[in-house]
Amino acid sequence: AQAQDVDFDKGKTYTLGGLEVTGLKSFNEQTVITFTGLRVGQEITIPGEQLSEVINRLWDLRLFSDINFYQTGVEGDKIFLELEIVELPTLTDAKIVGVKERKAEGVLEEADVKKGEKVTEGFLANTRNYLVNKYKKEGYLNTKVYINTIPDTTQANGVKMVINVDKGEKVKIRDINIEGNEKLSDGRIRKAMKNTKQKVFGRFWKKSKFIPEDYQEDLKSIVNKYKESGYRDARVLSDSIIYNDDNSISIDLEVEEGNRYYFGKIDFVGNAAYTDEYLQNLLGIDEGDVYNGVLLAEQISDPNPDANTIENLYQNTGYLFSSINTVEVAAVNDTIDFEIRVNEGKQAYLNRVEVVGNDKTNDHVIYRELRTRPGQLYSKDRVVRTIREIGQMGFFDPETIDIQVLNPNPQNGTVDLQYGVQEKGSSQIELQGGYGGGGFIGTLGLSFSNFAIKDLFNKEAYKPIPMGDGQRLSLRLQASRFFQTYSFSFSEPWMGGKKPVQFSVSLSRTLQFQFNPLTRDVDRDQRFVINGITLGLAKRLRWPDDSFQLSHALSYQSYELQNYFGFQSIFPFPDGNGTSNNLAYTVALTRNNTSVNPIFPMRGSLFNLSLKFTPPYSLFNNVDYANLGDDPEFQTLNPQGEVVPDEGKISQEKLRWLEFYKVKFTGAWYTNIVDDLVLKSGFEFGFLGAYNQDRGVIPFERFFLGGDGLGNFTLDGRENIQLRGYPNQQLSSNVGSTIYNKFSLELRYPITLKPSASIYALSFAEGGAGFDGYEEYNPFELKRSAGLGVRIFMPAFGLLGIDFGYGFDRVPGATEISGWQTHFIIGQQF
């Protein structure tokens, strides 16, 4: 307060003698006085900051359309003030007429018309403009919107609002007439107009509608089309829109093509970092080429970050501050000379690189994945790649990752980067009970993809679970009267925090009891037990490029049957007792450069080559598997008292330690066709073999083709291969295939890619077949199918989907073709 004495020379200090509020409708005078913060008896300087502060505070409330202070009298050092306000009316009800009733609510919400809004002129105008534009965009060119406000008698200072929407008829374009064009046909010009189309029966991809902004863009596209073919001076002389009687319009265009031009000399000026020849090569335009202004611009600068342009060359090698200008320096007859003026500037080095918005995931999990680090040269493609890879971690919403380039300093050549992320839910909890297979089945599944195991015993960290270290932990228990399965898995992406080597471990145990479906009794003494453990290491490679990953896994499973007579095709033990062990090593090479959203990749490819094998026991155990039946140890007496091979013992010998090798090769390409439409094309190939043909190919680890491909029942290590349009697993023989291949094409289109739910529709055509041995293999003998479906991904539930597939071929043993099949997809990723 002391400072003000000096500053405001003209202000005079009074005591506030009284304050009266006028213009009130719904507010109480005392309320408004309290709002002002003024009290009778206080000191007040007029003119001075106090009153403007009060006025500002009242404005901030957005309750008044006018606020004025008047001086009503002065008595000695007392001053009396009047505060005149005009209250804004409040919206008490809004109705919209002329829109389908079920849509009315939604439209009001979109237009931000809510009860309690203060009704200003601006609010009315915004609402009107919003609605007019909304319907124009849908092709209702003649939309008219009237808004009436009626005082609401039931509420002081309230108004009701009635919005009348008259959409009129949808306006279509009957024809587009073009005159003056000789070099380009009418058709090519119409094609150049991307969003303004003539009405054509049967085209549903792009509807004919007239949107003024798009139309203006399309006129530019026509000129660009000409520029691409050397007609530098081409222009649209006139365009007129004619309203026809049948509520359609016609567009008449007149173009002037001008002469065809050619590129003359192209000189580079100002380039020191790269030679003229180098830039000339990159530009790829030679003297004498037909003039193409669009190509020239694209070769220099293209919004696509992967494009091989001169601008990207500079931006990817630190020249953040560079700029490139193309200037026409001479035009002689039909030849134009260019000068490409490069202003390189200093190379920019990165100073601070920050990540903000991570309110669950710890810094070290993110910073170790950054490809832009302090001290490095700035590089645009590294920034783009970092954004992609942060998105693929699965902890953040890939659609909202942003980058801020902060404090660019062209003098020092430094710049800061800030990545903004938004956490998304990445844990799944599954708790379900169901009736299936003759009894109640209860499932409890927990899956945390961003766990922090170091906080397992830290009570504070349970909000609601310890997370943020990027570790994956899942736990699944499933039980019914006749079976139980327990599984646990854990993985850490950076073992020890030093190198990107992923470590994983998983444990599982399955118990299956003999169940009599007639008496519904369970005999727990007759059981089948499987225990398994898998240890894995995966390492990202730098060579041949850093999208490669090499992984190793060591796995062990033991199978034990006690008086158990199920699965005789796999375990042909006559007395129901036997064991089997599977110790195998898997090595896999993967290349994944899909981008950007892992749920819906738009481009890139994914390859996986893997080899799984066991030790070749038969090489050194000296067992003659071909003639086991001749060995007295493997013989028994049949009821007739003859010596015969003991099949049970032979099976046990062959299955005690499984011996096999398995090769798989899969690949998928994602191609962005148009808009967000993506084509996924893929192939799969698998082969299971034996080292020792006398021992034969094991009945485990086999391929089962057909159906949804969900792996619910994998206790014998079988792999269910998806092939829609056919019943589950029916394309393979009872024991399973040892060799298979599959080819597929899938078109995908996203309906929404919000983090709360990603939904896309798909249509597919695929073909594949499984064979019982290499001799039967025929890559051309495919079971074909086609169909369509939809996928919904919600972070809390995982992936859900339904596909309708039509199988064109017969399932082995069937007399009719497979026909329509419905497949439900649950939890299968991508």
Partner 1 sequence: CSEYQKVLKEDDVKKKYEMAEKLYSEGDYTRAIRLFDQIVPNYIGKPQGERIIYFYADSYYQKEQYYQSAYQFERFAKSYPRSEKVEQAAFLGAKSEYLTSPKYSLDQAETKEAIERLQVYINSYPESEKLEEANAMVQDLRRKLDKKSFEIAKQYNTISDYFASIKSFELFLKDNPGSEYREDALFYKFTAEYNLAMNSIYSKREERLNNAIETYNVLLEDYAEGQYREDAEDMLTDINKELEQFSK
Beta carbon nearer to partner 1, 358 or 392: 358
**Per-residue tokens: 66:** 């006018």
Q: Which of 151, 374, 410, 696 binds partner 1 (CB under 8 A)?
A: 374
Q: Smallest distance from the beta carbon of 412 to partner 1, in angstroms?
A: 13
Tell me the longest C-alpha to C-alpha distance in the chain. 136
Using rule CB under 8 A, residue 32 touches partner 1: yes
From the list 102-110, 490-498, 522-530, 767-775, the region that binds partner 1 by CB under 8 A is 490-498
Using rule CB under 8 A, residue 363 touches partner 1: yes
Q: Smallest distance from the beta carbon of 352 to partner 1, in angstroms?
A: 6
Beta carbon nearer to partner 1, 55 or 602: 55
Using rule CB under 8 A, residue 359 touches partner 1: yes
3-state secondary structure of 436: strand
How far is it, in rounded angstroms, from Cα 240 to Cα 237? 10
String of DSSP letters for 653-708: HHHSB---EEEEEEEEEEEEEETTEEEEEEEEEEEEE-S-TTT---SSS-EEESBT
Amino acid identity at 291: Y
How far is it, in rounded angstroms, from Cα 370 to Cα 382? 9
Strands 64-75 and 78-87: antiparallel
Helix extents (H) in 8-120: 29-36, 49-60, 101-110
Q: Smallest distance from the beta carbon of 408 to partner 1, in angstroms?
A: 16
Residue 436: what are its φ and ψ, rounded to 5°? -160, 150
From the list 30-38, 240-248, 787-795, 805-813, the region that binds partner 1 by CB under 8 A is 30-38
Q: How many CA atoms lie within 13 A of 331 on its CB side?
A: 10
**Is the separation of the CB atoms in 500 and 519 below 8 Å?**
no
Q: Which of 4, 22, 26, 28 binds partner 1 (CB under 8 A)?
A: 28
Beta carbon nearer to partner 1, 35 or 215: 35
Q: Which of 203, 364, 524, 810 binds partner 1 (CB under 8 A)?
A: 364
From the list 26-34, 199-207, 653-661, 726-734, the region that binds partner 1 by CB under 8 A is 26-34
Burial (CB < 10 A; 0-12, 13-18, 19+), residue 457, is exposed
> What is the Cα Rg of the chain in Å?
37
Using rule CB under 8 A, residue 424 touches partner 1: no
Q: Which of 198, 247, 343, 362 binds partner 1 (CB under 8 A)?
A: 362
String of DSSP letters for 703-742: EEESBT---S--TT--EEEPBTTS-TTTTS-TT-BSEEEE
Beta carbon nearer to partner 1, 78 or 368: 368
Q: Smallest distance from the beta carbon of 70 to partner 1, in angstroms?
A: 22
Write the DSSP symbol of residue 347: P
Using rule CB under 8 A, residue 356 touches partner 1: yes
Using rule CB under 8 A, residue 25 touches partner 1: no
Q: Which of 4, 22, 26, 31 binds partner 1 (CB under 8 A)?
A: 31
From the list 25-33, 192-200, 233-241, 820-828, the region that binds partner 1 by CB under 8 A is 25-33
Q: Which of 30, 622, 640, 829 binds partner 1 (CB under 8 A)?
A: 30
Using rule CB under 8 A, residue 39 touches partner 1: yes
Q: Which of 361, 449, 722, 729 binds partner 1 (CB under 8 A)?
A: 361
Using rule CB under 8 A, residue 454 touches partner 1: no
Using rule CB under 8 A, residue 7 touches partner 1: no
Q: Smallest distance from the beta carbon of 693 to partner 1, in angstroms?
A: 49
Beta carbon nearer to partner 1, 183 or 360: 360
Q: Smallest distance from the beta carbon of 551 to partner 1, in angstroms?
A: 20
**Whole-Å CA distances, 721 to 139, 416, 576:** 46, 49, 30
Beta carbon nearer to partner 1, 250 or 376: 376
Phi-psi region of 329 (alpha: psi -120 to 50; beta: other; left: phi over 0): alpha
- String of contacts with partner 1 for each residue 77-96, x by CB under 8 A: --------------------
Strands 719-721 and 703-705: parallel
Phi-psi region of 383 (alpha: psi -120 to 50; beta: other; left: phi over 0): alpha
Write the DSSP symbol of residue 183: S
Beta carbon nearer to partner 1, 37 or 151: 37
Beta carbon nearer to partner 1, 220 or 352: 352
Beta carbon nearer to partner 1, 301 or 362: 362
3-state secondary structure of 344: coil
Using rule CB under 8 A, residue 478 touches partner 1: no
3-state secondary structure of 576: coil
Spatial neighbors of 117 by CB under 8 A, at least 6 apart, are 90, 91, 123
From the list 24-32, 182-190, 305-313, 571-579, the region that binds partner 1 by CB under 8 A is 24-32
| Count of residues in contact with partner 1, rule CB under 8 A | 31
Beta carbon nearer to partner 1, 15 or 487: 15
Three-state SS for 94-159 is EEEECCCHHHHHHHHHHCCCCCCCECCHHHHHHHHHHHHHHHHHCCCCCCEEEEEEEEECCCCCEE
Q: Which of 174, 235, 368, 539 binds partner 1 (CB under 8 A)?
A: 368
Q: Which of 102, 498, 641, 675 binds partner 1 (CB under 8 A)?
A: 498
Beta carbon nearer to partner 1, 184 or 390: 390
**Per-residue tokens: 117:** 């809004």
> Of 573, 574, 580, which Cα lies nearest the Cα of 558?
580
Using rule CB under 8 A, residue 542 touches partner 1: no
Q: Smallest distance from the beta carbon of 44 to partner 1, in angstroms?
A: 13
Beta carbon nearer to partner 1, 30 or 815: 30
> Of 12, 78, 89, which Cα lies nearest the Cα of 42?
78
From the list 93-101, 374-382, 511-519, 796-804, the region that binds partner 1 by CB under 8 A is 374-382
Q: Which of 12, 114, 191, 352 binds partner 1 (CB under 8 A)?
A: 352
How far is it, in rounded angstroms, from Cα 566 to Cα 653? 19
Q: Smallest distance from the beta carbon of 57 to partner 1, in angstroms?
A: 9
Using rule CB under 8 A, residue 442 touches partner 1: no
Using rule CB under 8 A, residue 375 touches partner 1: yes
Relative orientation angle of helices 121-137 and 101-110, to the nearest 10 degrees: 120
Q: Which of 4, 22, 26, 34 binds partner 1 (CB under 8 A)?
A: 34
How far is it, in rounded angstroms, from Cα 165 to Cα 108? 12
How far is it, in rounded angstroms, from Cα 41 to Cα 19? 10
Using rule CB under 8 A, residue 383 touches partner 1: no
From the list 150-158, 235-243, 324-332, 368-376, the region that binds partner 1 by CB under 8 A is 368-376
Using rule CB under 8 A, residue 35 touches partner 1: yes
The label of the residue with tokens 């009266």 reads: 20
Q: Smallest distance from the beta carbon of 373 to partner 1, in angstroms?
A: 4
Q: Which of 126, 221, 376, 534 binds partner 1 (CB under 8 A)?
A: 376
**Per-residue tokens: 279:** 């830039």
Q: Which of 499, 524, 754, 810 binds partner 1 (CB under 8 A)?
A: 499
Using rule CB under 8 A, residue 37 touches partner 1: yes
Using rule CB under 8 A, residue 360 touches partner 1: yes
How far is it, in rounded angstroms, from Cα 251 to Cα 179? 11
**Is the separation of the CB atoms in 803 and 820 below 8 Å?**
no
How far is it, in rounded angstroms, from Cα 625 to Cα 22? 108
Beta carbon nearer to partner 1, 150 or 356: 356
Binding site for partner 1 (CB under 8 A): 28, 30-32, 34-35, 37, 39, 351-352, 355-364, 367-368, 373-376, 468, 494, 497-499
